[in-house]
Amino acid sequence: MGRIIIDPITRIEGHLKVEAVTENGVIKEARSTGTLFRGIEVILQGRDPRDAQRYVQRICGVCPTSHSTAATLNLDSAFGIADQIPENGRLLRNLILGAAHIADHILHFYHLCALDYVDVTKVASYQGNNSALNSVKDFIERGELGPFVPRYEGDYRLSDEANQQAVAHYVEAFNMRRKGQEMLSIFGGKMPHNCAIMPGGVTEVPTVDKIASFLWRLNELRDFIDNVYLPDVLAVAGAYSDYFEVGKGCGNLLSFGSFDLDVKETDLLKRDRLLKQGRLSADLKLEPVDTDKITEQVRHSWYSESNNGRHPSEGQTTPEPEKAGAYSWIKSPRYDGKVYEVGPLARMAVTYASGDPKVKAMVDGVLSHFNAQPGALFSVLGRHAARALYTKLIADTMPEWLLQLKPGEPVCADYEIPEESTGMGLVDAARGALGHWIEIKEGKIANYQCVVPSTWNLCPRDEQGQPGPVEQALEGTRIRDESNPFEIVRIIRSFDPCIACAVHLVTPKGKDLGKFRVC
């Protein structure tokens, strides 16, 4: 028996430790540990409900827009105005969220996970006029490889030319991500932590100039997605096709859907959305979501056992750092007692299973390209492909929303803060299903709970001993070289973890970071 500990996992958001027990080179048991305390919900107690969509954005600087959206839907629900949002408000919310997701997914593929597959040192042999590649080449010749190293070595399969092209795209993607954040800022005010999304709609008003400025950047991003991002994902998938068989996970998928197409329905799980709501297993049979069946378990989390098995609306955040048998600050969400994966794979697969013609054509096209069956989507490469296709879908839909904006018409509905109420906000964030729940008493927040995508995906075992999705994705994986476990980080990064979202509050005192050992 061997033991691999990676602490921290790098090129993700937040601090994650993973421990894997191996036997004959195969992972027999994996443990995912969030190493920071979760406390943002405690900070919200006693505050004005309208503070929620501002405070929750401070959970994470990478995906604050998704939290502001979930919080605002939560307040729409609690204030009784969920079906009163003006069309301009609905459209602008979609555009702000869409811009955030485009920037986020470009960041993930190029700057967080691409280096698992791209050998930057191949740029040393480059002979040409590309300024980005020549700059990287200069760094290599001077021995200054950061941020490309330290890294796990070996198993780089792209040709020298493909590696050089990928590195050039890595550099270009910084500019593309910036354009996505500029788009968000046009209607959101700033990034990170937009100040436009609010109960009833938005604060920003559309103008012809703003629409044109947004569209100009969007067209550049659509060109990059079509001609750079998607081809690069396909090139990696072609070279590493065995990763369609690696990292399957729990086999259950859940999506809350995202991007409202109207607001007539106050039940967010029945509302018409571009990306659909539902649950799937490996047979791709679509089932509905009932939020009453969502609970959070804490048997192996550093929280009081009195919180175990509660619905999020009744959840509490009571830390117990010395709890026996616990190994993570992340709770364990369960749906009807079962483990579910969330993320771009889940929402694209759910929308595919719903019969959406655009998504079906996109997914079938990729599957046909690799002569693969839908089951191949449950994998490392399936997650990357789904994320890229989702980015294209959003980018291609956003021009329609821009053209539907009507300058001069209302962007926000009036509302009053109730003395007592409850609310629920559900949306698919960049990394998956995101839920916010609020209880208001005497006009103030009495309780606030967030169940975030990386809580679903990176959670520890539950009281039945069921491993979380990432733990299940790791277990059964063969490690070629236990002193160089690149398979582990490839699997983990395919989920795009955001541990800051999962645990919420940074308390690093006494934590041992930067340690890697094999025994």
Q: Indicate if 279 belongs to the active site.
A: no
Q: Which one is catalytic: 15, 383, 431, 490?
A: 431
Residue found under tokens 């042999």: 125
Q: Indicate if 287 belongs to the active site.
A: no
Q: Indicate if 13 belongs to the active site.
A: yes
CB neighbours of residue 365 within 10 Å: 10
Q: Which one is catalytic: 279, 494, 501, 504?
A: 501
Contact (CB, 8 A) for 90 and 262: yes
Q: Indicate if 60 belongs to the active site.
A: yes
Contact (CB, 8 A) for 316 and 307: yes
* 163 CB-near residues (< 8 Å, 6+ apart): 118, 119, 120, 122, 123, 156
CB neighbours of residue 478 within 10 Å: 11
Q: Indicate if 431 belongs to the active site.
A: yes
Q: Which one is catalytic: 15, 38, 67, 217?
A: 67
Phi, psi (rounded to 5 degrees) for 332: -120, 90
Helix ranges (DSSP H) in 432-508: 453-457, 469-474, 486-494, 499-503
Q: Indicate if 67 belongs to the active site.
A: yes
Contact (CB, 8 A) for 178 and 224: no
Question: Bridge-partner residues for 517, per DSSP?
Answer: 5
Contact (CB, 8 A) for 467 and 477: no
* 515 CB-near residues (< 8 Å, 6+ apart): 5, 7
Q: Indicate if 436 belongs to the active site.
A: no
Per the structure block, which two tokens stand in for 75? 């307040």
Q: Which one is catalytic: 454, 487, 494, 504?
A: 454
Question: Bridge-partner residues for 260, per DSSP?
Answer: 273
Q: Among 493, 464, 489, which residue's Cα sits nearest to residue 479?
A: 489
* 489 CB-near residues (< 8 Å, 6+ apart): 6, 9, 10, 11, 116, 152
Q: Which one is catalytic: 13, 341, 439, 471?
A: 13
Q: Indicate if 498 belongs to the active site.
A: yes
Q: Which one is catalytic: 31, 60, 271, 412?
A: 60
Task: State how far the Cα of 101 lies from the Cα of 466, in Å rounded to an integer.
Answer: 31
48 CB-side CA count, 13 A: 7
Amino acid 298 reads V
Task: State how far the Cα of 338 lies from the Cα of 217, in Å rounded to an integer.
Answer: 42
Report the length, in residues, of the chain: 519
CB neighbours of residue 239 within 10 Å: 15
Residue found under tokens 């809350």: 256
Burial class (CB in 10 A: 0-12, 13-18, 19+), 178: middle
Contact (CB, 8 A) for 235 and 250: no
Q: Which one is catalytic: 328, 334, 498, 504?
A: 498
Q: Which one is catalytic: 15, 32, 38, 63?
A: 63
Residues labelled catalytic: 13, 60, 63, 67, 431, 454, 498, 501
